[in-house]
Amino acid sequence: MRRRFWLFLIICFAIVIFVSAEKLTLDPISAPSPVTYGPFSGNDTCGQAFTFTVRMDKSTGTASDFSVVINGESSPSSRSLKSSSGSIEIGFYKDSSHTTEIRSTADYSPSYYISGSFDPKPDVLTQTFTIYPRLVKGQSAPYGTYTGTFTLLLYKKSSPGQGNPEDTISFTYTAAVDKAVDVRVGSRNANYDTGATSYNIDLGEISNGASADFGIFIRGTTGYTLTMHTASGGFLTSSNSEDKIQYTIIVDGKEYYLNSSIILDQETANYLYSKALLGTVKIPGDHGAKAGIYSDTVGFSMAVN
């Protein structure tokens, strides 16, 4: 009998394809434009907006969520610009109206970070976002250059704060406070904002002596020299008489017999100065001058040290 043998060949194989996940990165960022900060300004200082870009290297057919924050420390302490003279707090915002601040991983509320998502098989593999800087008015900032370095942290999830970031990139922000000093005069109860560049003092009838008070108001971001100038060397003169009436000025308790130029106050340190000096015009009681209207012009000038 003839035997038949059947050979069964079973071939088993497996095909394994390793598909790497998409990679999210931050493009290099251009340094934001510097801004000039005025510590005495009545308005906030809003710097020029700047952008950053999130990039995905390839599509994997699934949605790719991400989030971005600034710095890894709690805000706002990590958002200050520093100089040798002090610091200025700065905020970075998601909107041009500066209502929604971009904070850090320690601030988990979704309103505090930027989030986005790439669609499955997207046609565009980049997304660009805008940052709006703001420095709040009224901060004590003497003359100097203030800088701070901040870090954008990109997380591969819709909310940050867990695990390591996918990518980080740093940028430096700079604000300058210019050297500036100024002086105004006014009534003794005034201040710099209510003072003026010209102030008239009416001494009234001076036959028995007279005096009148006034204020000198100083404001500056750096050291200064305050100088007083008199047109007639400390004498009141009249257009209808050759007589002169000598007078003195007392400033913060110190009496000055006047000449053409007297230094009243000096400061040398880089500091934010806001001073009010009390002045008094004093006329002797026995002057022997003819009747008439006598006057003089006193000026105050500020120089930056």
Would you list the domain boundaries of the chain? 24-177, 181-304
Among 297, 285, 277, 302, CA closest to 233: 297
β-partners of residue 196 are 185
> Greater confidence, 142 or 204?
142
Can you give the pLDDT at residue 17?
47
Locate 92 and state its tokens.
Answer: 């970075």
Residue with structure tokens 């230094």? 263
Q: What is the DSSP letter of 96?
A: T
β-partners of residue 54 are 26, 127
Which amino acid, residue 192? Answer: Y
Q: What is the mean pLDDT of residues 20-43?
A: 91
Locate 203 and state its tokens.
Answer: 């001494």
pLDDT at 19 over 60: no
In this structure, of 133-142, 172-181, 219-228, 277-286, the range with the lowest mean pLDDT score is 277-286
The answer to whether the beta carbons of residues 49 and 130 sit under 8 Å apart is yes
Question: Given this chain, do its domains 24-177 and 181-304 carry the same CATH topology?
Answer: yes
CATH of 24-177, one of 1.10.1200.10, 2.60.40.10, 1.10.20.140, 3.90.1010.10: 2.60.40.10
Can you give the pLDDT at residue 21?
66
> Greater confidence, 214 or 289?
214
Can you give the pLDDT at residue 231?
83
CATH architecture for residues 181-304 = Sandwich (2.60)
The answer to whether the beta carbons of residues 36 and 176 sit under 8 Å apart is yes
In this structure, of 82-86, 203-207, 209-213, 290-294, the range with the lowest mean pLDDT score is 203-207
- 3-class secondary structure, 185: strand
Q: What is the mean pLDDT of residues 255-270?
A: 90
Q: What is the DSSP letter of 194?
A: T
Can you give the pLDDT at residue 143?
97
Can you give the pLDDT at residue 281?
94
The answer to whether the beta carbons of residues 81 and 88 sit under 8 Å apart is yes
**Peptide bond preceding 32 in cis form (omega within 30 of 0):** no
- Average predicted confidence (pLDDT) for the chain: 88
pLDDT in tens, 64-102: 899 999 986 666 667 899 999 899 999 999 999 999 999
Instruction: Provide the pLDDT confidence category of residue 9 given band limits of 50, 70 and 90.
Output: low
- 3-class secondary structure, 14: coil
β-partners of residue 50 are 131
Can you give the pLDDT at residue 18?
46
The answer to whether the beta carbons of residues 261 and 229 sit under 8 Å apart is yes
Instruction: Provide the pLDDT confidence category of residue 161 given band limits of 50, 70 and 90.
Output: low
End-to-end CA distance of the chain: 124
β-partners of residue 224 are 267, 304
How far is C-alpha 262 from the chain's CA centre?
35
Can you give the pLDDT at residue 290?
86
Q: Percent of the chain at pLDDT above 70?
A: 90
pLDDT in tens, 240-252: 888 998 899 999 9
3-state helix, strand, coil in the chain (%, to 5): 0, 45, 55
Can you give the pLDDT at residue 12?
56
Which amino acid, residue 42? Answer: G
Q: What is the mean pLDDT of residues 40-61?
A: 91
> Greater confidence, 62 or 70?
70
> Greater confidence, 201 or 2?
201
